[in-house]
Structure 1
Amino acid sequence: MENAEKDLERIEIELLLQGLYAWCGYDYRDYAYPSIRRRVRYRMQAEKTPTVTALLDKLLHDPECLRRLIADFSINVTEMFRDPSFFAAFREKVVPALRTYPSIRIWHAGCATGEEVYSMAIILHEEGLYEKSTIYATDVNANALKIAKAGVFPLSDMKKFTGNYMKSGGKGAFSDYYHVSDNGVKFDSRLTKNVVFAQHNLVTDGSFNEFNVIFCRNVLIYFNKALQEKVHTLFYESLGLFGILGLGDKETIAYTRYADRFEDVHRGEKLYRKVK
């Protein structure tokens, strides 16, 4: 009986995802099932709907319910200089090559609320590369992008962010990049002068430029294998020759169809260079 209930729940969730796609174009059908199931069950409890089908009925007729569910599906877990050794490796292994470029285009795909975008802007500023750089910060979640663009974050996060910054090889005082306001901590607007914030859906949208660097960290782990391959194709097609791809610590270019077209810049930190 337990297996039958699980099978029925999966059918209902698949119907919900198909309904979302048909009704408003949001495509979560190839997201990893365990992650989607957790988010659906959370929203069922919050909306007090007894079944997944009842939740589908509500979101099709209640725009606010739909908005809340889409927010649940968005991945917004991030922090500044997350995994400091990754950013230290970027400074050491990638920045010297970027110095040789007349201009630099960087894509933060799935940037969430923008903490890693500000991290990159700080690195480029400290390395004297910001003025010739453009950072494209994209996410499917419009509300997350608003937070990223505003550059206001909780004061309580600054101790962690400062520690990360120092471990990543920061060359100044982290507090020089922000000031405390009534709403929290506001980062200096000079850090976003060369940042373009825009909605982009990795599931349905294509390439929009050629980049020297693409960061997509801790996003692919939420996709199934077919969608991961699709996104790797997007990144490969969007990177110029010798462009850099940065992934999360549980993600890899290995075992994809593009594995032999990249070389390790720093295998441990998941930094790869496109070589063909």
Structure 2
Amino acid sequence: MHERETIEVELLLQAIHQLTGYDFRDYSRPSIMRRIHHRMKMNQMDSVSILQNEVFTNEEMLHQLLQDFSINVTEMFRNPLFFKYMREEILPIFKELSEIRIWHAGCSTGEEAFSMAILLKEAGLLEKSKIYATDMNEEVLKIAKEGKIPLSKMKNYTKNYQLSGGKQSFSQYYTTDEEYAYLQEDLVKSISFMQHNLVTDQSFNEFHMILCRNVLIYFNIGLQNKVQKIFFDSLSAGGILGLGHRETLQFTDVCKFYETKSIEHQIYKKKEIRYDE
């Protein structure tokens, strides 16, 4: 990235922050640049400055760019062996709890949160569990709250479910019409979908498990540290943290306060120690 374009990008991100309150200034630059260049190409713009001017004068352009910056790649039982480990090694730990609180941060359209609800149901834990699924993007949250998934995706999701150790008929968890699969009402009702921005918002509860998978790879090191502190403060002693397979607690300020449960699946357990000790 040339020096001029670097300055233009900084000014664009500053403008977006002041106009909307959304702060992308500490997002990974290669990731942000891919999205900026995509929007420039789609609208035949020659420079970031032209895009910035459009952002100031065209509300629809600002909306489109915010959607470009929002990461919405997800699927049910994504990385099935992660969920298999959860099923076999982690959920049994929670059986003695009277209440189980789980936070899915960066939930997109909710598929991974729905996957966890199915795991909890099969473990006999759903009725005493509450899943909080959050995302900065209001539009994907509206989709998630409907509990419906394009039918074309269900074949792949069924395969993922089976690879995750699922022994039931996956089709028992939904009904269908010609276009969509509609998840069972008890699965949908077990999840509270809420807007929350990891960059600007703080902890809002204490959780026994936090899952934030394939979100932190889009943040720079400083922002990753900030978010990991929020997660640490939000986890109960002995709580579980699950990250994406390309993410790690290594090199973060809170790393020493966790023990590794699975390096393969990036699953960690918070030690029973305070952050300031």
- Shorter-chain-normalised TM-score: which range? over 0.9
- On the 8 A contact 1:88/1:167 being kept in 2, the answer is yes
CA RMSD in angstroms comes to 1.0
Instruction: Tell me how far apart the structure 2 counterparts of residues 185 and 10 of structure 1 sit (CA, whole Å).
Output: 45
Runs of 4+ displaced beyond 6 Å: none
Instruction: Tell me how far apart the structure 2 counterparts of residues 192 and 151 of structure 1 sit (CA, whole Å).
Output: 6
State the AA in 1 paired with 2:126. Y
Map 1:66-77 onto structure 2 (within 5 A): 66-77=62-73
Q: Which residue of 2 aligns with 1:24?
A: 20
State the AA in 2 paired with 1:82. R
Structure 2 runs not aligned, ≥5 long: none
Deviation at 1:244, TM superposition (A): 0.3
Deviation at 1:186, TM superposition (A): 1.6
Instruction: Tell me how far apart the structure 2 counterparts of residues 53 and 254 of structure 1 sit (CA, whole Å).
Output: 37
Secondary structure of the residue that 2:264 maps to in structure 1?
helix
State the AA in 2 paired with 1:211. F
Map 1:151-166 onto structure 2 (within 5 A): 151-166=147-162
**Pair 1:78-2:89 in alignment:** no
Instruction: Tell me how far apart the structure 2 counterparts of residues 75 and 197 of structure 1 sit (CA, whole Å).
Output: 17
| Stretch of structure 1 that moved more, 25-34 or 260-269 | 260-269
Q: TM-score normalized by structure 1?
A: 0.96
Deviation at 1:106, TM superposition (A): 0.3
Deviation at 1:265, TM superposition (A): 1.5
- On the 8 A contact 1:126/1:171 being kept in 2, the answer is no
**Pair 1:249-2:250 in alignment:** no
**Pair 1:174-2:174 in alignment:** no
Map 1:1-276 onto structure 2 (within 5 A): 6-275=2-271, 276=273
- On the 8 A contact 1:152/1:183 being kept in 2, the answer is no
Deviation at 1:169, TM superposition (A): 0.9
State the AA in 1 paired with 2:98. P
Structure 1 runs not aligned, ≥5 long: none
Q: What fraction of aligned residue pairs are identical, expressed as a percent?
A: 51
Deviation at 1:223, TM superposition (A): 0.3
Instruction: Tell me how far apart the structure 2 counterparts of residues 185 and 66 of structure 1 sit (CA, whole Å).
Output: 32
Q: Deviations over 1:60-89 (max 9, x none)?
A: 221111111101001111110001110011
Instruction: Tell me how far apart the structure 2 counterparts of residues 143 and 109 of structure 1 sit (CA, whole Å).
Output: 16
Q: Deviations over 1:15-43 (max 9, x none)?
A: 10011011211100000000100100111
Deviation at 1:191, TM superposition (A): 0.5
Deviation at 1:253, TM superposition (A): 1.1
- On the 8 A contact 1:93/1:265 being kept in 2, the answer is no
Instruction: Tell me how far apart the structure 2 counterparts of residues 170 and 185 of structure 1 sit (CA, whole Å).
Output: 18
Deviation at 1:156, TM superposition (A): 1.6
